[in-house]
């Protein structure tokens, strides 16, 4: 499929897309945003004919779709592990993942593509605005707002792929909105989706032993959502948003493995105060994860995670010394609660709660007609990990004629979760969590954990022209106090070594990312994106050898052509080069103790993914999409413990009104 980043870059100039709240506390143009940003609009999403957001995001510069032993694709930014990327919906956190310890299918598969207005992807740390977890960057999914005139769309899609890498899937999604009364508008959306579980496949370990894993669990998902907006006058707006989802994780030739249910209620307020804008929301999220008990053939008691979040943000502009100053002041209060009986090996209840308060401020000041500086500062305070301050400074220099220089420094942090802070937490690991020592082992929580921190630097050029647009950014990240596990010297009654969560590791990532879009003619567009990781490594305590931080290629390149053959027919083709694992290491290079820490999933041989797509407008209100992903069924080498999506045939139709 044609990479989404290409369309985003090419339309940014034509349509004047804006970034709202993701890269800055105020609305700004894509080029002026104080960060490396990509915006994907709803037209691009519709043209992709993708199954979910993972398929759309993987070709953005700086991003990689990392694969684990479970076969689950996760978004990794700039060589950092996937859990250092923060996913937001309408600028709000999604807490469903707090109920799942392993093999979470993620937040990107449940949202109906028909309901999405745009996706704002910010590469680089954003803790100043969003607090914990935004160390690598932010993926902010903006849903469509209700319209004045009743309109909407319905999409039906079916895909078929190899049983051992992809399996079949089908979905129907819908979105419609309109005005109910003079002051009240409404939007409704829904999705029914099923992706079959894949069969097991075999691979060969570095040691030459045969091993068998699954490419991934399937999923059966139902989601409903509604949004009501009441605007009594031109200065104030109230909203209420409700979503509910039920997701079953499917196992190949077995009962569903878990039932994941989520409920979300959010109240919003937009208030125009003179020249300023006050934006606030209060949200409540409840997520429940009930695993299937194969022994007693019933559902176990559900792990439950509740989050209450309140945020208010005031933005305005003024002049200082004759120069323009935009500023944002914000307050965030959150409370999380966990009740878990499923991740403690002894079956004991794990309970915990965490309250966090944060104040933040950001200011953008025009130092000269060409130079704009952005300053940000945030303070997060919690009884569990103390007070944490994260600063940010960013500069945009406009050379004119569409060329802008961007450079910045930011700190970020990743707070420990409620399980890792609980001394009663007792996770069983077959080996990966026990490294660099042999498994299996038990891992306990530690109430003395402190947040991971990072210092990040970037510099780049961004050019937006009428026919050609490009960007090039260099980045460097230093991480300290990374979460790990250390031996306590104790042994359980069944002989397992006992480890404790601790801050032991440090790491570094560095590289280049870029993109190019060229409108060769009014009907033909050539797009490109790449990510080069010069370094992505961290150290285990007491070992001298650096190890890869994530399952990420050293070089990832996508090039694509999109041809508007006539008024109704659009053809697309793309080629993605997936390079060798960054920091690739083998057991032969290491000592016997270090060899135990070699990560699974390293790819040593590059491969190519070729995608083809076709979109045909049957009428003004109906479009049919065809596609073949991974035409030649390319896969990593036989020693790699994950598989790419196999040759996948897609067909879908969208009707609108």
What contacts 183, CB < 8 A, 6 or more positions away? 230, 231, 232
Alpha-carbon distance of 81 to 154, in angstroms, equals: 35
Encoding tokens for residue 405? 């220089």
pLDDT value, residue 384? 87
The structural domains of the chain, ordered by start, are 4-656 (2.40.170.20)
Tell me the CA distances in angstroms from 29 to 21, 63, 392, 393, 407, one per residue in order: 11, 22, 20, 18, 17
Average the pLDDT over 104-126 and give the result: 84
274 or 429: whose pLDDT is higher?
274
Lookup result for tokens 């307050």:
331
* pLDDT of res. 73: 63
Least confident of 96-100, 244-248, 308-312: 96-100
pLDDT in tens, 613-624: 999 999 999 999
pLDDT band of 591, cuts 50, 70, 90: confident
Looking at residue 207, its pLDDT comes to 62
Over 90: is that where the pLDDT of 543 sits? no
Asked whether residue 230 carries a pLDDT value surpassing 80, the answer given is yes
> What's the pLDDT score for residue 410?
96
H or E element in which residue 37 lies? strand 36-41
- Give the model's confidence band at 9: pLDDT under 50 very low, under 70 low, under 90 confident, else very high: very low
What's the pLDDT score for residue 150? 95
pLDDT exceeds 70 at position 28: yes
b/e code 20-41 from CB counts within 10 Å (16+ = b): bbbbbbbebebbbbbbbbbbbb
What share of the chain in percent tops pLDDT 70?
Answer: 92
Q: Which of 532, 510, 528, 503 is nearest to 518 (CA)?
A: 528
Nearest CA-CA partner of 57 in 38, 84, 43? 38
Looking at residue 66, its pLDDT comes to 65
- Dmax over CA atoms of the chain, in Å, equals 74
How does the average pLDDT of the chain come out, rounded? 86
Q: State yes or no: pLDDT of 13 exceeds 50.
A: no
The average pLDDT across 227-234 equals 95
d(CA 187, CA 243): 12
Most confident by average pLDDT, 23-32, 70-79, 91-100, 120-129: 120-129
**Which has more pLDDT, 118 or 333?**
333
Residue 70 clears pLDDT 70, i.e. is over it: no
Which contiguous run of DSSP H or E holds residue 57?
helix 53-57
Unique residue bearing structure tokens 């945003």: 33
Q: What pLDDT is attached to residue 228?
A: 97
Torsion, Cα of 595, 599, 603, 604 (10° steps): -20
Rounded average pLDDT over 77-94? 87
Q: Which of 226-230, 427-431, 602-606 has the lowest mean pLDDT?
A: 427-431
Instruction: Give residue-wise pLDDT tens across range 318-359.
Output: 999 889 999 999 999 999 999 988 776 666 778 889 999 999
- The pLDDT value recorded for residue 216 is 73
What mean pLDDT comes out for the span 247-268?
Answer: 90
Least confident range of 117-126, 330-339, 396-405, 543-552: 543-552
How high is the pLDDT of residue 11?
Answer: 34
Indicate the pLDDT class of residue 485, thresholds 50, 70 and 90. Answer: confident
In this prediction, residues 490-516 reach a mean pLDDT of 89
Most trustworthy range by pLDDT among 482-496, 516-530, 628-642: 516-530
How many angstroms separate the first and last alpha carbons of the chain? 26
Residue 588 has a pLDDT of 75
Grade residue 14 by pLDDT with cuts at 50, 70 and 90: very low
- Compute the average pLDDT of residues 203-229: 81
C-alpha–C-alpha distance, residues 476 and 461, integer Å: 16
Compare 637 and 355 and report the one with higher pLDDT.
355
Task: Kindly report, residue by residue over 142-151, the tens digit of the pLDDT.
Answer: 999 899 999 9
pLDDT exceeds 50 at position 10? no
Confidence of residue 263 (pLDDT cuts 50, 70, 90): very high
Asked if 570 and 614 touch (Cβ cutoff 8 Å), the reply is yes
Contacts of residue 620, defined as CB under 8 A and 6 or more positions apart, other chains included, come to none
d(CA 71, CA 642): 6
């Amino acid at each position: 499929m044609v990479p989404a980043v290409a369309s985003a870059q090419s339309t940014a100039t034509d349509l004047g897309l804006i970034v709202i709240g993701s890269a800055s506390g105020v609305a700004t143009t894509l080029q002026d945003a104080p960060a490396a940003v990509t915006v994907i609009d709803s037209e691009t999403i519709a043209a992709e004919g993708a199954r979910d957001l993972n398929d759309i995001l993987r070709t953005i510069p700086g991003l990689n779709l990392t694969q684990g032993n479970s076969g689950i694709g996760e978004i990794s930014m700039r060589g950092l592990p996937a859990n250092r990327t923060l996913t937001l919906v309408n600028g709000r956190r999604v807490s469903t993942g707090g109920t799942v310890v392993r093999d979470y299918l993620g937040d990107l598969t449940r949202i109906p593509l028909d309901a999405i207005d745009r996706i704002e992807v910010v590469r680089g740390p954003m803790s100043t605005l969003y607090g914990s977890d935004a160390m690598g960057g932010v993926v902010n999914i903006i849903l469509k707002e209700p319209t004045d005139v009743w309109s909407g769309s319905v999409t039906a899609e079916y895909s078929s792929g190899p049983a051992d890498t992809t399996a079949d899937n089908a979905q129907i999604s819908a979105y419609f909105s309109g005005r109910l009364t003079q002051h009240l508008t409404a939007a409704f959306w829904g999705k029914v989706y099923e992706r079959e579980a894949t069969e097991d496949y075999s691979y060969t370990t570095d040691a030459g032993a045969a091993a068998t894993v699954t490419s991934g669990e399937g999923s059966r998902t139902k989601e409903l959502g509604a949004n009501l907006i009441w605007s009594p006058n031109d200065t104030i707006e109230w909203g209420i948003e409700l979503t509910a989802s039920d997701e079953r994780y499917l196992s190949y030739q077995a009962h569903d493995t878990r039932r994941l249910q989520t409920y979300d209620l959010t109240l919003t307020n937009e208030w125009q105060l003179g020249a300023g804008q006050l934006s606030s929301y209060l949200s409540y999220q409840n997520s429940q994860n009930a695993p299937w008990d194969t022994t007693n053939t019933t559902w176990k008691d559900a792990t439950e995670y509740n989050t209450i979040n309140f945020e208010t943000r005031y933005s305005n502009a003024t002049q200082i010394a004759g120069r323009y100053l935009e500023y944002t002041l914000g307050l965030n209060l959150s409370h999380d609660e966990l009740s878990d009986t499923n991740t403690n090996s002894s079956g004991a209840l794990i309970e915990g709660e965490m309250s966090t308060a944060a104040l933040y401020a950001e200011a953008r000041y025009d130092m000269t007609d060409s130079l704009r500086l952005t300053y940000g500062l945030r303070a997060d305070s919690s009884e569990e990990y103390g007070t944490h301050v994260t600063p940010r400074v960013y500069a945009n220099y406009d050379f004119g004629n569409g060329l802008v220089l961007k450079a910045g420094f930011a700190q970020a942090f990743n707070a420990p979760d409620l399980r890792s802070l609980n001394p009663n937490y007792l996770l069983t690991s077959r080996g990966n969590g026990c490294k660099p020592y042999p498994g299996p082992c038990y891992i306990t929580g530690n109430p003395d954990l402190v947040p991971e921190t990072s210092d990040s630097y970037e510099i780049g050029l961004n050019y937006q022209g009428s026919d050609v647009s490009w960007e090039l950014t260099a980045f460097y990240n230093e991480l300290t106090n990374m979460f790990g596990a250390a031996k306590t010297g104790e042994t359980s009654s069944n002989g397992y070594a006992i480890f404790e969560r601790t801050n032991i590791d440090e790491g570094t990532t560095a590289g280049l990312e870029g993109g190019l879009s060229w409108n060769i003619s009014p009907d033909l567009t050539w797009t490109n994106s790449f990510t080069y990781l010069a370094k992505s490594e961290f150290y285990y305590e007491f070992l001298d050898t650096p190890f890869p931080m994530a399952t990420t290629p050293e070089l990832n390149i996508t090039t694509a052509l999109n041809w508007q053959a006539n008024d109704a027919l659009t053809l697309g083709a793309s080629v993605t080069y997936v390079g060798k694992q960054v920091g690739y290491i083998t057991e032969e290079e290491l000592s016997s103790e270090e060899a135990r820490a070699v990560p699974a999933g390293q790819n040593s041989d590059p491969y190519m993914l070729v995608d083809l797509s076709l979109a045909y407008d049957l009428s003004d209100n109906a479009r049919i999409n065809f596609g073949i992903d991974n035409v030649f069924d390319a896969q990593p080498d036989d020693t790699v413990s994950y598989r790419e999506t196999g040759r996948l045939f897609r067909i879908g139709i969208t009707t609108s009104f």
